[in-house]
Amino acid sequence: MVRKRRLKKLFSKIVGESRCWIEEEVCASYSYDAYPEKPVLPDIVVMPTHTEQIGEIIDLCNRLEIPLTVRGSGTNLSGGTVPVKGGCVMLTTALNRILEINKDDMYARVEPGVITQNLANAVEREGLLYPPDPASMKVSTIGGNVAENSGGLRALKYGVTDRYVMQVKFYDAFSNLVKSGGIPVKLVTGFNLKGLMISSEGLLGVISEVMLKLVPPPQARKTMLVFFDDVLDASRVVSEIIINRILPATLEIMDNFTIKTVEKFHHIGLPTDKGALLLIEVDGHPAAVEDEYVQVEKICRKYGGDVHIAKKQEDRDKLWQARRDTLSSLAMLKPTLILEDATVPRSRVPDMIKVIQDVAKKYNLLIGTFGHAGDGNLHPTILTDRRDEEEMKRVSEAIDEIFERTLDLGGTLSGEHGVGIAKKKYMEKEVGRGTLLFYERLKKGLDPKGIFNPGKVI
Ligand SMILES: Cc1cc2nc3c(=O)[nH]c(=O)nc-3n(C[C@H](O)[C@H](O)[C@H](O)COP(=O)(O)OP(=O)(O)OC[C@H]3O[C@@H](n4cnc5c(N)ncnc54)[C@H](O)[C@@H]3O)c2cc1C
């Protein structure tokens, strides 16, 4: 306790006494995140209110040689904010100012703790669109989105966060403020350090400001919910839509288990006997939307799809409801939910669905599958109870098998949830020894004392 009191005294000089905590009940709140990992208490939690304080906090952690884990909203699904080696957890939630929305050059400049939805709303009021829309956007922060390179429900057409990052400012391990990128559309001065910070998962620096590209919103959109008897038919439709050079904004899938679970808890009128549903949204110029819609409908019907179209905004909201209620419904089935992130080339979605079905049977587990099928990004979601040791052993084997098979299909360990602690053990298999050694050298050079988020990724 003496050591912790000393820590509090030192950090208070930077952020003020009311913005740092050593009390166990507060530290416990920051000992875990959205990934079901064993909680670890930090020694201290600090909440800077000005971005300049970030550099001072890093400097102090370096001098004290204690770990620093940066935390936005803690919604990451890979254990990235669990302070596995204790030390300091720095919250970015009070760094939540939208500094500028520029309509002429179409960008927004924000602090890292801005909630994604708040940015999207502010931009929409100015008649523009910030496309990345992770399902967690009501709570996730822009800093977290950049550090995880988050995707979303519109990623198929609009891409993921990295496509929108024009500039990043960050503090390095030596407390220097580093800047990379800028407003010009063409900019090749210096190394692409903003690229380095994207997907860096808090290991290479602390992002203090982000400039994000905005785009004009689509003039029209058409939304449809399509039910199929067989999940494999639904996944074949996904491949065929893409093969026909149609890029919907949204192309989401949900299997029968997930449909039944959503209906059980939310009673929104989903047919529980159907094998799968697809939520499809096409957007753009009105004529193109109409044309794409006709083609998509034809493909769906070819595979026996029962197509429901939204005629007005109210209908659209209703169709989206099923997708929005997915995770909260699955979470009600069992005490522990493990949301995985298997991602394969789009043409292999039917094979991946089959893999997940086989694994669920083989290990006798409840697995609901939904996700961004158009991106090949499926979320097999295992419902379990981490107090049941025997079942957890089967869960672990099932996850190993899902990843083995994902890689065999030419896929990746993580389409959007990052590596953190969750995928660390599979890294060498996907990226190879040489790449891991490069990561290690890079990390050592940029953060010689290893203070930034130790125990993750490498
Ligand atoms: C219900 C639910 C739905 C989700 N849906 C999606 C989805 O559709 N798409 C998707 O991609 N993800 C999704 N996620 C995962 C998660 O929301 C994203 O990874 C999100 O970007 C994390 O943001 P955060 O603010 O919670 O970051 P945190 O969880 O707090 O942090 C994530 C990582 O970023 C680092 N970090 C945070 N801030 C900074 C900073 N300022 N500088 C440097 N590093 C930093 C942290 O150290 C950590 O390693 C979902 C999660 C949940 C719970």
pLDDT tens track, the chain, 458 positions: 778 999 999 999 999 999 999 999 999 999 999 998 889 999 999 999 999 999 999 999 999 999 999 999 999 999 999 999 999 999 999 999 999 999 999 999 999 999 999 999 999 999 999 999 999 999 999 999 999 999 999 999 999 999 999 999 999 999 999 999 999 988 989 999 999 999 999 999 999 999 999 999 999 999 999 999 999 899 999 989 999 999 999 999 999 999 999 999 988 889 999 999 999 999 999 999 999 999 999 999 999 999 999 888 888 888 888 888 898 899 999 999 999 988 999 888 889 999 999 999 999 999 999 999 999 999 999 999 999 999 999 999 999 999 999 999 999 988 899 999 999 999 998 899 999 999 999 999 999 999 999 999 99
Pick from 95, 145, 148 the residue to mutate for probing ligand 1's pocket: most ligand atoms within 8 Å of its CB: 148
| 128 and 59 part of one domain | no
In a domain? residue 449 = no
Tokens read off for 235: 């996944």
70-104 burial, b for 16+ CB within 10 Å, e for fewer? bbbbbbbbbbbbbbbebbbbbbbbebbeeeebeee
46, 76, 91 - which closes a domain? 91
Tokens read off for 316: 């659209």
In a domain? residue 43 = yes
| 118 and 191 part of one domain | yes
Over residues 270-288, the pLDDT tens digits come to 999 999 999 999 999 999 9
Tokens read off for 6: 């000393």
CA 34 to ligand 1: nearest atom: 53
| 256 and 396 part of one domain | yes
| 173 and 282 part of one domain | no
| 109 and 48 part of one domain | no
Over residues 191-232, the pLDDT tens digits come to 999 999 999 999 999 999 999 999 999 999 999 999 999 998
Closest among 412, 381, 415, 411 to 399, alpha carbons compared: 381
371, 392, 408 - which closes a domain? 408
In a domain? residue 416 = no
Count of C-beta atoms within a 10 Å radius of residue 408: 12
Cα R_g (the chain), whole angstroms: 22
In a domain? residue 431 = no
Ligand 1 centroid–CA 424 distance in Å is 17
Ligand 1 centroid–CA 148 distance in Å is 6
| 200 and 252 part of one domain | no
Q: What is the CATH number of the domain that holds 38?
A: 3.30.43.10
279-304 burial, b for 16+ CB within 10 Å, e for fewer? bbbbbbeeeebeebbeebbebbeebe
| 190 and 226 part of one domain | no
| 306 and 351 part of one domain | yes
How far is Cα 155 from Cα 319, in angstroms, rounded to an integer?
A: 19
CA 141 to ligand 1: nearest atom: 25
209 contacts 177 by C-beta, under 8 angstroms: no
In a domain? residue 242 = yes
In a domain? residue 171 = yes
In a domain? residue 432 = no
Ligand 1 pocket, CB under 6 A: 33-34, 69-77, 80-81, 92, 112, 134-136, 140-141, 143-145, 147-148, 150-152, 201-202, 206-207, 327, 416-417, 453
Please state whether beta strands 44-46 and 88-91 pair in parallel, antiparallel, or not at all (unpaired): parallel
Secondary structure in 3-state letters for 437-457? HHHHHHHHHHCCCCCECCCCC
Please state whether beta strands 206-213 and 177-181 pair in parallel, antiparallel, or not at all (unpaired): unpaired
| 115 and 176 part of one domain | yes
| 238 and 314 part of one domain | yes
Range of the domain at 341: 220-408
DSSP symbols for 250-287: EEEEEEHHHHHHHHHHH-----TT-SEEEEEEEEESHH
